[in-house]
Amino acid sequence: MKRIIFYTLIFLIALAAETHAQSFQPTWDFTCMGCKPAGYSIVSGSPAISNPVGLGGNPQTPWQAIMPSPPSFLNGSQADIEDSKKKTFLTLKHNNFPNSNHQDAVRVLVSKFVPGKQYNFRFGVLFSKIAATNSAKSLTLTITTIDLVPQVVKTLTIGNLGENYWSNNILSFTPNTSALFFTFSAEANSNTLGYVNLDIPQYAFDCVIPNTQVQLFHSNSTTRYPCGRTGLDGLEKSITPPNGSLIWKKGSGAGAEDLTANLISAAPVGEYYAFYRDGTMPSCYNVQTSTAKAVLSYVETQVLLSNNTATNSCPESSVNLETSLVVDPNQNLELNEERRWFKNNNHQGAPENANAISVSGDYYAFFYNKKYNCYSTDLSTSKVTVTIKACCAAGTAQVALLRSGAVNSCPATTVNLNNSTVNNQPQGASLVWFKDASHTVAVADPTKAGAGSYYAFYKDNVTGCFNTDLSTSKLTVTINACETKVNLNLKVFLQGATTQENGVATMRNDLQVYQTGPSTFGLLPTQDPYGGGAAYPEIKSTFSKVGNVVDWVKVEIRSMQDPSIILESKSLLLRVDGTVLDVDGFAPKFNPQFGGVRIAVKHRNHLAVLGLGIVSFNAGTVNYDFSTSLSKAYNVGAPAQMVLTSGVWCMPMGDVQQDYAVDNVDYAIFDNSFNNGEFGTYSNQDLNLDGLVDNVDYSFFDFSFNSGFFSTLINY
């Protein structure tokens, strides 16, 4: 059991210092006594790392003769290590006395051997001594498996044939497993203390990579460009050997410079040579001189042409050089390549737009590599002479109308012929209309065409020529009758008349039903009080077509952009539910307006109110309800334009003078009527519209006056 544990520990220690074939753990390191080089393990004794100065590098224990530098230093293997490690080597000793037998031995684990393959291991040995000692009798190298019961693969004992020179030694062996122990030990003559030194470089094995040339699928390729490139990584035909890698160099010798990975994938114009390199021995190649050569040659290339001349075909006023009529379709463009055209033969200046050459002259073609930015030649002979002849910009095709008929859209009573969509209008030409097919009688105003047949032509904007002398592009216009008025559904409440019935806002119609005699009723005038000329003889009857009337109001249609402009006005009747009707009992009709509008409502003793902008007021029915929100009243720098009464927004009362403000003048007028005790009269001072000028009206007026109300219309 103890033996198993011992070998297991040795095995684990060795694995930690493993070296991969075909590299070896070198024997150079920092000088020291009782130590070993990195990667080695001490089997027995107390080895040292020495240099030519002395044992363990100590000048106090110098060698008895001049010690030469180790071969690994002389052949450059130590060139890249630290200076303090250079010229160092491993020293083993054997103290061979009957009462004191101490023998130095070290070993190192090397792995990744190919079983059954022969390897040659090279190393240097030097026998030496210090004062009062001898040199060792021999050095033994034993190669074993790493099993718990190791098997000896090979043993070599090198005898002392002379001191103070480095002998070059070689051991050939064939491993039967992929990992092996290399054990080195010294042996001295009886009753002596002897030393032997060991110099092993990093690459101690002969090359095992096959010494055959790399085979390539092909060796020569060409490019149109001096900056052209090709990939070398797909040229290998032979199979890369185990532990080897394919290397490309700029020269045929193994010492030539390697190509970097990016150059292998995109090698510029030149010659390149392929090698196999041992993956564990960078200095080991399949051959010293490669014949596996790949050549990328630049072959100056001209653009092939189908024609040396080109002329535009009317109605086109330009030439496309990138067509098979000009360039040879059999000369294909390569990846990352394009043709470029210049007005000179040495590609100076900016290239031309070859798809639309509109100026006569000579043009030269070049191939251009977009990826590496160069041309296929610096002197083009691929010349095309372009001639641009004048054309009628109108062309020769008939106007392609997408419809053959057009109908007016109410409220318009005409048709705009220019709105007829076409899909082939040439540049530099206009669409024109005639009443005949031979462009004799022009349409005076194509934007306002009446019923009839019209013929479309294209006309050159410069020369005045037409696309044809006989048009078949006919458009038949039909005009349908239109309702030319806009129906306005308008709703507004007057503060003075507003009350509630069953929780619903309504207005009193006291002025309509006010008893004026034993059998007469009504104070409302049959003629509108605003001078609009409207009359409603049945106004005093609640059974008339308008029904329960509160009073007359005046409605104005104003410009949205400039509300000072009154486009149209009407005197209308206000019902108790807030709706505004015309004297015919229907919603009022107004003329269509093709710009935005605002609605203004006026009453003889309430402040006028102005609505928000209405963009479309040219057809159909327009709805506007002032009572739903304070924001429905337009306001510029004025107090709130409406007051909330009985749950609806109302026009404020008190402007008896109708000057858009409740001010001192209104106060004086109202005060006079109040003091006179007016009743049974249609008075502007009757603010709540009940036929009396009394304390209720006084209270209402006082509220409006103290609130400082004025209409935003005062600004206009």
Give the per-residue pLDDT at 316: 84
Question: Of 478, 498, 518, which residue sits at a domain end?
Answer: 478
Question: Do 31 and 141 fall within a single domain?
Answer: yes
CATH number of the domain at 110, please: 2.60.120
Q: Are residues 497 and 467 in the same domain?
A: no
One domain, residues 415 and 273: no
Q: What single-letter amino acid sits at 218?
A: H
Mean pLDDT over residues 645-663, rounded?
A: 95
Residue 330 lies in a domain: no
8 Å CB contact between 129 and 64: yes
Residues 189 and 264 occupy one common structural domain: no
Specify the pLDDT at position 280.
Answer: 67
Parent domain of 654: 486-714
pLDDT of residue 19: 55
pLDDT in tens, 443-472: 999 999 999 999 999 999 998 999 999 999
Confirm whether 318 is domain-assigned.
no
| Strand 309-311, strand 383-387: pairing | parallel
605, 466: one domain: no
Q: In this structure, are 19 and 93 located in the same domain?
A: yes
Single residue among 249, 266, 298 that ends a domain in this structure: 298
Question: Domain total for the chain?
Answer: 4
Assess if residue 331 is contained within a domain.
no
Tell me if 264 is assigned to some domain. Answer: yes
The DSSP code for 399 is P
Asked whether residue 525 falls in the same domain as residue 604, the answer is: yes
| Tens of pLDDT, residues 3-52 | 444 444 444 433 434 555 557 899 999 999 999 999 999 999 999 999 99
Tell me: do 542 and 662 sit in the same domain: yes
Per-residue pLDDT reduced to its tens digit, 513-551? 999 989 899 999 999 999 999 999 999 999 999 999 999
Residue 347 domain flag: no
Which residue, chain included where needed, has tokens 């990352």?
A: 336
Residue 68 and residue 150 share a domain: yes
Residue 375 falls within a domain, yes or no? no
The pLDDT, as a whole number, for residue 677 is 81
441, 462, 478 - which closes a domain: 478
Q: Which two tokens stand for residue 192?
A: 């002596």
User: How is residue 564 written in tokens?
Assistant: 């000072």
Angle of the 664-676 helix axis to the 695-707 helix axis, nearest 10: 170
User: Residue 342 falls within a domain, yes or no?
Assistant: no
Instruction: Give the integer Cα–Cα distance in Å for 492 and 509.
Output: 15
Cβ 557 vs Cβ 538: under 8 Å = no
Position 13 scores a pLDDT of 38
Residue among 179, 77, 192 at smallest CA distance from 135: 192
In whole angstroms, what is the distance from residue 626 CA to residue 651 CA?
9
**Is 572 within a domain?**
yes
- Alpha-carbon separation of residue 434 from 407, 420, 447, 455 (angstroms): 18, 14, 13, 5
User: 255 and 134, same structural domain?
Assistant: no
